[in-house]
Amino acid sequence: MSSQFKYAVVGAGAVGSYYGAKLAHGGGHDVHFLMRSDLGAVKLGGLTVRSKDGDFHIAKVNAYGSAAEIGPCDVVLIALKTTANDVLAQVIPPLLHKETMLLTLQNGLGNEEWLAKNFGAERVLGGLCFVCLNRVAPGVIEHFGHGTLSIGEFHGPPQTRTARIVQDFRDSGIDARAVQNLITERWRKLVWNIPFNGLGIAAHANTEEVLRDENLHALAINLMRETITAADKLGHNIPASFADEQIERSWPMGPYRSSSQIDFEMGREVEVESIWGEPLRQATRANTDVPRLEMLYALIKKLATKS
């Protein structure tokens, strides 16, 4: 059965808009969107999702320009770019009651830790989105494929509350599941993101170009191995064969450009710290030698920083 949770969505980019719209439209849930630049357009024109699973439009969206207007919620979906985490310190407090859950759908490592430090670890959950989305205009989201959402507790195995959120997403048409160890899942996702998002920037190469170039292909595998080794040292066991699986599942993607590559090419901020910086720092603290990750971080940090 679905919950009666009141949801807030912070961040109206592709991820927040898509999952929020699915909850509201597909599941009939009570969803409130906190927006900034898209607020006017969405109040006027609603939210549109174009998808091969079927287009839909929400004419009247609960969209707000401040968290105070939304007030306390049961679940806050956090879908801001990790480069904007500072904003959350101001935005989240009005959304909290005693048991409010903070579910970060953000990329990479360090986001749960940040929320835990600022609002208490017991509130924090995380979700990993495996989805191809693009925000083509304010309030207009294109959904190219997939959509799996893996949700877990920051600390410990899934609880009743985890299962209820998963069920809400499933009722809304999202292929959601609960995961036993969220941070292990984050490392598994990084095994793909570190090389492919990284070489999208450092080599200006899309997924297919990385796979077809002998040297970049080998480099991608070596970056995956470094990531798996670092994860292992940190207590997250990922089998070595996982690297080969990631290569195999990348071929059907064709000339796919990761969100980081698109951000970089559009001159937008790149999530340097959550995707490369924080994994590197954790690997270094665990005394793992990750020369290629270290180099990738140095290059991307320089390339993506406006001078």
Q: Which residues bind its own copies (CB under 8 A)?
A: 202-205, 209, 213, 215-216, 218-219, 222, 291-292, 294-299, 301-303
- The residue whose two tokens read 């209820």 is 164
Which one, 154 or 264, has the nearer CB to its own copies?
Answer: 264
The total of other beta-carbon atoms located within 10 Å of residue 149's CB is 23
Q: What is the DSSP string of 133-188?
A: EEEEETTEEEEEEEEEEEEEESSSS--HHHHHHHHHHHHTT--EEE-S-HHHHHHH
CB-nearer residue toward its own copies: 132 or 295: 295
Minimum Å gap between C-beta 251 and its own copies is 18
The least distance separating its own copies from the CB of residue 128, rounded to whole angstroms, comes to 27
Minimum CB distance to its own copies, residue 307 (Å): 8
Residue number, 109 or 201, with CB nearest to its own copies:
201
Q: For residues 34 and 190, which CB has a smaller minimum distance to its own copies in the complex?
A: 190
CA geometry: angle 104, 128, 283, nearest 5 deg: 90
For residue 7, how many other CB atoms are within 10 A of its CB? 26
Measured from the CB atom, is 244 or 289 closer to its own copies? 289
Q: How far is CA 107 from CA 39, 83, 186, 198, 261, in A?
A: 24, 10, 8, 13, 14
CB of 114 to its own copies, least distance (A): 22
Alpha carbons 50 and 57: distance in angstroms, whole number: 9
Shortest approach of its own copies to residue 204 CB, angstroms? Answer: 6
- Taking the complex as a whole, the smallest distance from the CB of residue 271 to its own copies amounts, in Å, to 17
- Compute CA distances 95 → 9, 38, 52, 113, 168, whole Å: 10, 20, 34, 19, 20
Q: Strand 140-153 to strand 124-137: parallel, antiparallel, or no bridges (unpaired)?
A: antiparallel
Query: What angle (nearest 5°) sits at the alpha carbon of residue 107, between those of residues 105 and 112?
Result: 65
Number of H helices, E strands in the chain: 15, 10
CA distance 154 to 123: 9
Dist. CA 88–CA 10, nearest whole Å = 9
Catalytic residues: 189
For its own copies, the closer CB: 213 or 232: 213
